[in-house]
Amino acid sequence: MSNSYLSTLICRQAKKYGDRIALKYRDYETESWISVSWNQFAEKVNWVSNALIALGAEVQENIGVFSQNMPECLYTDFGAFGSRIVTIPLYATSSEAQVHYILQDAGIRFLFVGEQYQYDVACRVQNLCKTLKQIIIFDPKVKRSASDTNSIYYSDFLKLGMERKFQAEVDKRTSESGNGDLANILYTSGTTGESKGVMLHHSCYEAAFAAHDGRLTTLGESDVVMNFLPFTHIFERAWSYYCINKGCLLCINLRPQDIQKTIKEIRPTAMCSVPRFWEKVYAGVQEKINETTGLKKSLMLDALKVGKEHNITYLMNGKTPPPLLHMKYKFYEKTIYSLLKKTIGIENGNFFPTAGAAIPRAVEEFVHSVGINMIAGYGLTETTATVSCCWFDSFRIGSVGRVMPNLEIKIGENNEILLRGETITKGYYRKEAMTRQVLTEDGWFHTGDAGYIEDGFLFLTERIKDLFKTSNGKYIAPQAIETKLVVDRYIDQISIIADQRKFVSALIVPEYGQVKKYAEEHHIAYTDMKDLLQKQEILDLFRLRIDTLQQEFAHYEQIKRFTLLPEPFSMDKGELTNTLKIKRPVLMKNYAKEIEKMYEE
């Protein structure tokens, strides 16, 4: 195969599927979903290839896409691949400093932006950034600033390609493309420091597709896939490319906070998400059970018990459930489980890949008990997403599944997971020293994650960098404690403090609605949230819940003191990365006063 697979993918799919629907996106003015056929998709992609050459974009030049999920992101990506151009996605919520850093580091001349926020940031950065030559705006409703003379709207950009004046050059580039070409550079938002550009070549995606064909055997052209995570995230990006490759219908969700509404409008068969999505579902069900009484309550509790026994105790361990249990399970499948799935909007579910953080055990058991096919997995930007994943009949609670067929794995010192294979990055863009820190001469990649393999299943234990050592010399894995506690319906966010400290403490962002409800039910008077969170009754409530949840931890791992925060951790304050992971160093600084107070004698 001479040309790179992705450079001709959409064109090949259009020949195969023609006027079948390839994409849908939500029009917020008419509250309706607009369809794009494979032929329309291919036509737009071809215009983009032509228009990029019209602008003067060169072979293997880097262009930026700074936008929330829109069909235009995909037109731009595949149009760029057709002309051997590299695309660099930026998170829609990125700050000015982050955007400036990436544009400079990658020498970006052409930047595509989504809506008003991205346009405004790009304009401010353009004054500081020597390389940025032109901004191309996706959303026609964006108001351009008075001093802006050279940005163009996407519709005008496409016009540069509609007459296909550069088709001969596009064809030449496509025929010269190969899987050794660079496809994307993905900047990781680093929980620890400076962001690094992970280089992913076309060969990485081709190897990932081949590996997934052997594992995700039920995904095909009848699947309706909801897109919810940002395309900037390797998980959603590689998954979406793969779904397009399988001929699925991709439904693009523009605003992540709308997922509860859009999932009910689309009722997808598949969607990849982070554990947070399922934690919210689990919390909602627990809430419902708490509010219910009598027969209905005992039926719901029994349904969960039966499901757990049937799917986890028996099926997960390769045993056949006894006939009576199986009959009860079938009854609940038609009643309680199906009602629950319908309420969420996933009654047509095929399977739901989940990764990006540890899945709390209680949440994972619940999802499997009610027969939702959540496929737990593990991957990094540097590995083109999937390293390992579970599958329908082969999963273990707490495991991230079996390693993908094309990867070699070994467990190194400190139980670090090392990987080698075609999907592994060739390094960080223009950062040779950093590349050498993670990639050995003979091609082993150091993940920085610790884990072990049991019966062919991979289990993660902790991020090696994240291990805390108390002043008494004991090692603490903060994520294990956080994952255990975040399932509590009163806890929204939590960060463990323990490094070089005498004991473990925690900063907790409560689920404010639940706390208010508790205050009402127990007639606790208060002026504002800050006042409420200092009330002894509320502190006692949290103490009790924390103590109940942390029983299984060793004495030195248990939370001795905690602080309830009246405001959530936020990206604005630099406390969360773009993928909503906690930046511990920032929290240590922002809450230094509260932390010190917990360690006063």
pLDDT tens track for 227-250: 999 999 999 999 999 999 999 999
At 591, which amino acid appears? Y
Residues 6+ apart with CB under 8 A from 226: 251, 253, 259, 262, 263, 266, 268, 270, 271
The percent of residues in the chain predicted with pLDDT above 90, rounded, is: 83
Distance (Å, rounded) from C-alpha 373 to C-alpha 351? 5
If you compute the radius of gyration of the chain from its CA atoms, what whole number of angstroms results?
25
Residues 49-68 pLDDT 10s: 999 999 999 999 999 999 99
- Angle at Cα 191 formed by Cα 185 and Cα 196, nearest 5°? 25
Distance CA 350, CA 218 (A): 8
Q: What is the pLDDT of residue 326?
A: 97
Residue 2 pLDDT grade (very low, low, confident, very high; cuts 50, 70, 90): low
Measured distance CA(80)–CA(97) in Å, rounded: 26
Cα(58)–Cα(52) distance, integer angstroms: 9
Give the C-alpha distances (Å, rounded to integers) separating 190 from 239, 380, 578: 22, 12, 9
**Which stretch, 186-195, 303-312, 353-362, has highest mean pLDDT?**
303-312
Contact status, residue 92 vs residue 118, Cβ threshold 8 Å: yes
Confidence of residue 117 (pLDDT cuts 50, 70, 90): very high
Crossing angle (nearest 10°) for helices 154-162 and 38-55: 90
* Of 330-339, 355-364, 442-451, minimum mean pLDDT range: 355-364
Q: Which domains does the chain have, with CATH numbers?
A: 5-258 (3.40.50.12780), 467-598 (3.30.300.30)
Sequence letter at residue 294: G
Banded pLDDT at 538 (limits 50, 70, 90): very high
What is the reported pLDDT for 193?
58
Q: Phi, psi at residue 96, to the nearest 5°?
A: -55, -45
CA distance 333 to 159: 53
Q: State the alpha helices, DSSP H only, in 69-110.
A: 71-82, 96-106
- Mapped onto helix, strand or coil, the DSSP state of residue 300 is helix
Mean pLDDT in residue range 374-399? 94
Alpha-carbon separation of residue 581 from 165, 274, 276, 570, 587 (angstroms): 46, 11, 11, 10, 12
Q: Where are the beta strands (DSSP E) in 455-564?
A: 457-463, 468-469, 475-476, 491-497, 504-510, 559-564
d(CA 258, CA 33): 14
Residue whose C-alpha is closest to residue 211's, from 401, 367, 373: 401
Least confident of 241-250, 305-314, 387-396: 387-396
pLDDT of residue 467: 80
Local confidence band at 102 (pLDDT 50, 70, 90 cut-offs): very high
482-511: average pLDDT: 92
* Cβ partners under 8 Å of residue 42, min gap 6: 10, 11, 13, 14
3, pLDDT greater than 90: no
Are 244 and 10 contacting, i.e. CB atoms less than 8 angstroms apart? Answer: yes
pLDDT on residue 577: 82
CA distances to 50, 153, 189, 409 from 55, in Å: 9, 14, 30, 44
What is the per-residue DSSP string for 424-464? S---BTT-HHHHHHHB-TTS-EEEEEEEEEETTEEEEEEEG
Q: Given a cut of 70, is residue 1 above it in pLDDT?
A: no
**Three-state SS for 12?**
helix
Proportion of the chain in helix, strand, coil states, percent, rounded to 5: 45, 20, 35
* Mean pLDDT of the chain, nearest integer: 94
- Is the predicted pLDDT of residue 171 greater than 90, yes or no? yes
Alpha helices in 470-535 (DSSP H): 478-485, 512-521, 529-532
Cβ contacts of 555 within 8 Å, gap of 6 or more: none
Q: Band the pLDDT of 582: cuts 50, 70, 90.
A: confident
| Per-residue model confidence (pLDDT) at position 553 | 87
CA 550 to centroid of chain Cα atoms? 27
Distances (CA, A) of 551 to 361, 486, 560: 15, 15, 12
Averaged pLDDT, 516-524? 95
Judge whether residue 191 has pLDDT over 70. Answer: no
pLDDT at 298 over 80: yes
What's the pLDDT score for residue 393? 82
pLDDT of 578 strictly over 90: no
HEC-encoded secondary structure of 160-197: HHHCCCCHHHHHHHHHHCCCCCEEEEEECCCCCCCCCE
What is the per-residue pLDDT for 250?
A: 98
Query: What is d(CA 483, CA 282) in angstroms, rounded to the nearest whole number?
Result: 14
Q: Which residues of 24-46 are buried (b: 16+ CB within 10 A; e: fewer)?
A: bbbeeeeeebeebbbbbbbbbbb
Q: How far apart are CA 519 and CA 494, in angstroms?
A: 21
Q: Is the pLDDT of residue 81 over 70?
A: yes
Query: Do the beta carbons of residue 475 and residue 443 sit within 8 Å?
Result: no
User: Which residue carries 């599944």 as its tokens?
Assistant: 401
Name the burial class of residue 536, with classes exposed (0-12), middle (13-18) and buried (19+) by CB atoms within 10 angstroms of its CB. exposed
Average pLDDT value for residue range 191-208: 88
Cα distance between residue 352 and residue 373, in whole Å: 6
Query: Looking at residue 475, what is its pLDDT?
Result: 82
Q: Does position 27 have pLDDT exceeding 90, yes or no? A: yes
Total residue count of the chain as it appears in this document: 601
pLDDT score for 192: 52
Spatial contact of 583 and 574, defined as CB atoms under 8 Å apart? yes
Which stretch of 80-84, 135-139, 255-259 has the lowest confidence by average pLDDT? Answer: 255-259
